[in-house]
Amino acid sequence: MEIDDRFAAAIERAKGLPRQPNERLLELYALYKQATVGDVAGDRPGGFDFVGAAKYDAWERRRGMTTDQAKQAYVELVDRLATGG
């Protein structure tokens, strides 16, 4: 199965994962954004936008990761989370 197919399947599987801690949700978010958009752009949210800033920071840590690398990492993370890891 090609990475695009595995990534699409992982997106669907992620919707059925048991409740995850915020750190894992940020990891999933960042990998998804890196895989679908590329490097983060724009200014980091400030002020009292704690959620926006956390998302920006998580995505920023993925800067330079290729689309395929991000897709592969997303698939692997979903696989781990689905098995309780």
Number of domains in the chain: 1
In this prediction, residue 24 carries a pLDDT of: 97
CATH of the domain at 27: 1.20.80.10
Between CA 7 and CA 32 the distance in angstroms is 9
Domain extent, residue 57, equals: 3-82
Question: Tell me: the pLDDT tens digits for 9-23?
Answer: 999 999 999 999 999
Three-state DSSP class for residue 73: helix
Fill in the amino acid letter for 73: A
Question: Tell me: the pLDDT tens digits for 33-65?
Answer: 999 999 999 999 998 999 999 999 999 999 999
In this prediction, residue 23 carries a pLDDT of: 97
